[in-house]
Amino acid sequence: MEKKKALEAIQEMPESFDLEVLIERLIFIEKVEKGLEQVKEGKVISHEQLKTLAQQW
């Protein structure tokens, strides 16, 4: 995660907030960024492939 993204997340928080809420938000942002990167790299599976995998469990 870039420092800029973390600072933006902090700026969007209210004046008073729980640190846990900020940490959860930063983790969420990081996971979304990672997911978008995986999409760009073609590291995705179709809905049908997922259903097949789930049935194998």
Could you report the per-residue pLDDT of 1-57, keeping only the tens digit for each?
899 999 999 999 999 999 999 999 999 999 999 999 999 999 999 999 999 999 998
Tally of structural domains, the chain: 1
Q: Which domain holds residue 47?
A: 3-56
User: Looking up tokens 């942002």, which residue turns up?
Assistant: 29
Question: In the prediction, which pLDDT does 33 show?
Answer: 96
How big is the chain by its Cα radius of gyration, in Å? 16
Question: In the prediction, which pLDDT does 19 show?
Answer: 96
Residues 4, 19: Cα–Cα separation, whole Å: 18
Answer for the pair 26, 9: CB distance below 8 angstroms, yes or no.
Answer: yes
Question: In the prediction, which pLDDT does 15 show?
Answer: 96
